[in-house]
């Protein structure tokens, strides 16, 4: 008896994304307006390569902004405000997605703390 099972991760249930956030400000604005479970695509490509000064094909200004966006997304995840996931789109192309977590009392303090880290 030949049994073949295809194991794949369960689909991520996400509400509609509103496109890639092009700036750190754009990411913060979208996050502030987002409801729990909403997905925000903050980059499409290969994040590690696109952030690397030598490997990137992005202009320096765009690479620098991407660095800020990626750092902000990571800080938000570390603070428990969101989940970060990636979805393969094609060979060497991924959508990097921030999924908003439910907000609890004290979350506004966490958001303020994130803003203070940058100053």
Q: What's the pLDDT at 7?
A: 45
DSSP string, 44-60: EE-HHHHH-TTT--S-H
Domains and CATH numbers, the chain: 24-118 (1.10.10)
Confidence of residue 14 (pLDDT cuts 50, 70, 90): very low
42-57: average pLDDT? 95
30-43: average pLDDT? 94
* pTM of the shown model: 0.74
Residue 10 DSSP symbol:
P
Beta strands, E only, the chain:
39-45, 82-90, 93-100
With contact defined as beta carbons under 8 Å apart, do 75 and 116 qualify?
Answer: no
Average pLDDT over the chain reads 81
Q: Mind listing the pLDDT tens digit for each residue in 54-109?
A: 999 999 999 999 999 999 999 999 999 999 999 999 999 999 999 999 987 665 54
């Amino acid at each position: 008896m030949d049994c073949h099972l295809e194991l794949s991760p369960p689909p991520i249930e996400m509400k509609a994304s509103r496109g890639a956030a092009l700036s750190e400000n754009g990411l913060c604005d979208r996050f502030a307006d987002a409801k729990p479970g909403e997905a925000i695509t903050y980059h499409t490509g290969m994040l590690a390569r696109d952030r690397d000064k030598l490997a990137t094909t992005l202009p320096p200004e765009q690479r620098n902004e991407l660095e800020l966006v990626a750092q902000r997304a990571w800080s938000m995840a570390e603070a428990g405000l969101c989940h970060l996931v990636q979805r393969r789109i094609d060979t060497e192309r991924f959508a990097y997605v921030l999924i908003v977590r439910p907000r609890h009392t004290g979350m506004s303090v966490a958001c303020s703390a994130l803003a203070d880290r940058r100053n």
